[in-house]
């Protein structure tokens, strides 16, 4: 009896340690990023740093806006493309495909999630970018309205290319999680709906998706996390230019890509501090978007429980 109580206490101790340790780690990172970026924030001013559009290290002018916007645009594009497609693939694997087909395909999807991002970057550079330049952009420009945001010469590399590449990278994550979420739903829901004369599609749309809503949102959150933080592949295809992208097809930059590219060439303490400032902005963005998504999840759950 006492032995069991002791082991339970020990177990609790481990849990508390793990919990506190995790928080401490996050706190430590935030503290380091915070102190490192303090200089830049003080020199430029926090708001001017956040919404400034000029990035001129030589003149000591640092504005994060182009990179922040690039991050948000490419991530949004990635989610817009990857969520519906990922959910569709998950539905196919879980609800439609026979087991013979579903299990090798699922394994393949999981494998795709494990491919290093530099490989995706190479593929993006050599396959995707030329395809965007020669086919996708001309086709889109023929269809889309002639608005400033859809104009520009076909360069291949740019916001669209990065967004599509991110979508490809996020797709396996979204698919995997969505598939697990759907798999966790009891068959009794499906049978109840089928027995009422629903088609497979109606079962998915009106029973499974609503029941899995919070889990599917979670899939989106994970995908968003990957898209926001992705560095290597994006920097290879976005064009790396410190300009506010004035077109979907224009080159741009993302926060993570700037940090990675310019860290080694930061020639002054202020420059280094400004890069830490970008890191702070990236962390803040991630936190805010995650918190927002979490609220959505809670809201979705609260609807019926």
Q: Is 305 in the site for other proteins (CB under 8 A)?
A: yes
CA distance 177 to 167: 15
Q: Cα-Cα-Cα-Cα dihedral of 66, 134, 89, 110, to 10°?
A: -70
Q: Which residue, 193 or 228, is less far from other proteins as judged by CB?
A: 193
**3 state SS of 199:** coil
The residue range among 134-142, 154-162, 197-205, 282-290 that interacts with other proteins, by the rule CB under 8 A, is 197-205
Shortest distance (Å) from residue 90 CB to other proteins: 17
Binding mask 157-186 for other proteins (x = CB under 8 A): -----------------------------x
Token readout for 200 is 């497979």
* C-beta separation of 254 from 162 below 8 A: yes
Q: Which residue, 93 or 173, is less far from other proteins as judged by CB?
A: 93
Tell which positions 25-64 bind other proteins, by CB under 8 A: none
Site for other proteins (CB under 8 A): which residue of 39, 61, 180, 202?
202
Token readout for 203 is 């079962």
Q: Which residue, 168 or 203, is less far from other proteins as judged by CB?
A: 203
Q: Is 226 in the site for other proteins (CB under 8 A)?
A: no
Q: Which residue, 123 or 189, is less far from other proteins as judged by CB?
A: 189
The residue range among 2-10, 203-211, 230-238, 239-247 that interacts with other proteins, by the rule CB under 8 A, is 203-211
Tell which positions 95-114 bind other proteins, by CB under 8 A: 98-99
Site for other proteins (CB under 8 A): which residue of 90, 166, 169, 207?
207
Binding residues with other proteins: total (CB under 8 A)? 25
Question: Which residues have a Cβ under 8 Å from the Cβ of 175 and sit 6 or more positions away?
Answer: 86, 89, 90, 93, 109
Site for other proteins (CB under 8 A): which residue of 188, 264, 265, 302?
188
* C-beta separation of 176 from 114 below 8 A: no
Q: Which residue, 138 or 210, is less far from other proteins as judged by CB?
A: 210
Question: Which residues have a Cβ under 8 Å from the Cβ of 226 and sit 6 or more positions away?
Answer: 169, 170, 173
Q: What are phi and psi of 56, to 5 degrees?
A: -130, 90
Q: Which residue, 146 or 187, is less far from other proteins as judged by CB?
A: 187
Shortest distance (Å) from residue 111 CB to other proteins: 24
Site for other proteins (CB under 8 A): which residue of 197, 264, 265, 302?
197
Q: Is the dihedral of CA 247, 81, 67, 289 positive or negative?
A: positive
Per residue in 132-163, is it b (16+ CB within 10 Å) or e — as a string?
Answer: bbeebbeeebeeeeeeeebebeebbbbbbbbb
* C-beta separation of 83 from 69 below 8 A: no
Contacts to other proteins by CB under 8 A: 98-99, 186, 188-199, 202-203, 206-207, 210-211, 213, 303-305
């Amino acid at each position: 009896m006492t032995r069991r109580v002791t082991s339970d206490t020990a177990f609790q101790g481990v849990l508390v340690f793990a919990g506190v340790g995790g928080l401490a780690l996050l706190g430590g990172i935030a503290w380091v990023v915070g102190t490192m970026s303090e200089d830049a924030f003080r020199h430029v001013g926090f708001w001017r740093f956040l919404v400034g559009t000029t990035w001129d290290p030589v003149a000591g002018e640092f504005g994060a806006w182009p990179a922040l916007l690039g991050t948000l645009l490419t991530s949004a594009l990635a989610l817009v493309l990857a969520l519906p497609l990922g959910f569709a693939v998950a539905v196919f694997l879980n609800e439609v495909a026979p087991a013979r087909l579903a299990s090798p395909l699922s394994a393949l999807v999981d494998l795709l999630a494990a491919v290093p991002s530099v490989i995706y970057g190479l593929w993006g550079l050599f396959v995707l970018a030329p395809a965007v330049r020669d086919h996708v952009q001309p086709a889109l420009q023929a269809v889309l309205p002639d608005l400033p945001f859809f104009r520009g010469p076909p360069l291949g590399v740019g916001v669209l290319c990065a967004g599509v590449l991110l979508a490809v990278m996020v797709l396996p994550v979204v698919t995997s999680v969505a598939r697990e979420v759907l798999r966790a739903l009891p068959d009794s829901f499906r049978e109840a709906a089928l027995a009422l004369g629903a088609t497979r599609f109606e079962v998915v749309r009106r029973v499974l998706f609503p029941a899995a809503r919070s889990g599917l949102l979670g899939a989106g959150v994970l995908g968003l996390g990957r898209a926001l933080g992705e560095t290597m592949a994006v920097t290879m295809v976005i064009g790396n230019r410190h300009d506010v992208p004035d077109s979907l097809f224009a080159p741009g930059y993302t926060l993570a890509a700037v940090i990675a590219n310019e860290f080694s060439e930061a020639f002054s303490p202020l420059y280094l501090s400004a890069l830490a400032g970008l890191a702070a902005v990236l962390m803040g963005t991630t936190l805010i978007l995650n918190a927002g998504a979490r609220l959505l999840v809670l809201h979705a759950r609260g609807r019926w429980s």
